Chain A
Amino acid sequence: MSVAVAAPRRRPFIRKTGALPGFGLALGYALSWLGFIVLLPLAALFLRASSAGVEGFAVTLSDPRVQHALLLSFGVSAIAALFATLAGVIIAWALTRYDFPGRQVVDAMVDLPFALPTAVAGIALAALYAPDGLLGAPLAKLGWQVVYNPIGIFIALVFIGLPYAVRTVQPLIAEIDRELEEAAATLGATRWQTVFQVLVPPLAPAALTGLALAFARGLGEYGSVIFIAGNLPGVSEIAPLLIVIKLSEFDYTGATVIAVIMLALAFLMLLVINLIQAWSRRRMGNA
């Protein structure tokens, strides 16, 4: 698989890559690593699930408890990802555009949810928002209970998803010229017009990437959610927990069936997000 042999054979898709050497090697590397790390385990998953057959999938999908768990997982992940993206863009903006004492520290703090074991995050959030917790107590006085129900899941997933949103838009904000805003202002744009017609469009593709990452991360999240959700069947039971329950029943096939359904749905949604992203990128002309 040496490049020297590959190049003279005039394979068109190799020549297209330009003058940079090492394409064959790099692609071979990428594909074999992807194969071992991603494709092989996924293939094993699909193989196991396929032993359930079509009716196995149909039975699982028609179970109201599974339906509710899937709806909950996808719904809350989507809402949490949207919220995290909105908050993330604003945080990224503040961290990139303004200089203030301690900015580096705040900037580093954004990454903490990446590094924290998720169970710790779940326990900490539950402690904070529980009816006798620091934030939970005043909320409880207002009659709001925000843990041990789907709102708890939302809180955990926003926490988990936030760094993805911040880190994907931050480099782009750094790239946007300040003069762009000034030019918009001198040309008579209002502040809102500047924000929505000058600043938001170039940020949109990156924000969408952050959204997709936060969403995907939220879907698979288990460790933090089970400590704050209450896990009541048909109320706050997430799909990953159903998988764990199936495993506890030694029902490996049942577990993989739910996993494959989740994977397929997640893939669909990520594909849609990617398409929107590609479209908005084309519209911006910076493909």
Chain B
Amino acid sequence: MSAPATHLSSENLAKSRVAKFLGRVNLVYMVSAMICLSLVGSLAVGFGSGDGARRIGFAWVLNAWFVLSICLGAMFFVAIQHITRAGWSVTLRRVAEVLSASVVGPVLLLVPLLVALLSGHSGVYSWNDPEFVAGDKVLMGKQPFLNAPFFAARTFVYASVWIAAGVWLLKTSQGQDRTGDKQATLLMERRSAPILIALALTTTFASFDWLMSLDPHWFSTIYGIYIFSGGMTAALAVLSITAAVWVSSGRAPKLVTKEHLHDITKLLFGFNCFWAYIAFSQYMLIWYANIPEETIWLKHRQEHGWDNVTLVLMFGHFFIPFVALMPRAAKRNSGLVIVVSSWLLLMHWLDLYWLVYPQFNESPVFGVAEILGLMVAVSVTAVAAGWFARGENLIPIADPRLQEAVSHHVV
């Protein structure tokens, strides 16, 4: 294998523009913290009012899961890159690792909801209302599972797994920056397999708990995979935006190139198609068998204005990005990638909205609660990300496969 031209050393990198970028991270950290605090304050006021509480609860669940799914998707990405011994993605991996560790943010967001559940609040999760359950034979049967204490215990387990895995992956990689120890790579590779298994199971059951049980009568075995595919797509969108920004701004000229952009966008394209495939499978099977117990869930999403959201999702989340990102040149065009990836992030939010909100209201509602919720969720996660990225390199400078990534060329 011929040696690439770039010679990298920590000294060079320390002087490189990457370090300058890190300075800006601190600023982001501070600003996010301020936004976050002010928003939380205003929301605390909103929580007090009666029916508003239900809406805020739903907005909270939706937005917490928006950022949670992105962090989990990033964690999957990191684990998969380790387990396949990928070389091309090394320069992008640190950002994904930071995102994985930032799962702390969304987990913190879930805490107030848990508190509400444990104190008997049932505006969002109707199975928490003993009277509602008592009249319903099916819900009575689910009670051993759908009850607040067990729910909280499960969430505690999921959160522990997520935080442990995400933080460990990041810290091990950051530690390698300092020691250059190759064993770290091998260790991360070995541990990635059980991490993936744990992630798959916890993501699945967390989605059953937090999202599927919003309508406690309905169920779908593919639901966990649906949430995973959406989250993965969104995480890849974030990574694509990162790559595109780095490429277009020339911040890390040899470290992240159009080749990396091409590949990460290819992955994004592929996973978006995978999302569409899962969504289609679920829809087709429920439609075809036409069993009222299942179709009611789709029926809600096809009337009183929800049908418009469904159409927007179909075209916006799949068809338009499919056509936009298919040409080779499109995947190498930073501007286009930023636009399409941002659009896909919006579509992922819309997807979760489509999953969650029909339970809240017969027709789509959108307002301050949802926007505030999004800002809180994003800023909390940004704070977490800033915290974990603070003072560290944004590129794993001592990764043994860094040379490969640098000289990566898409044929």
Chain B associates with chain A: no
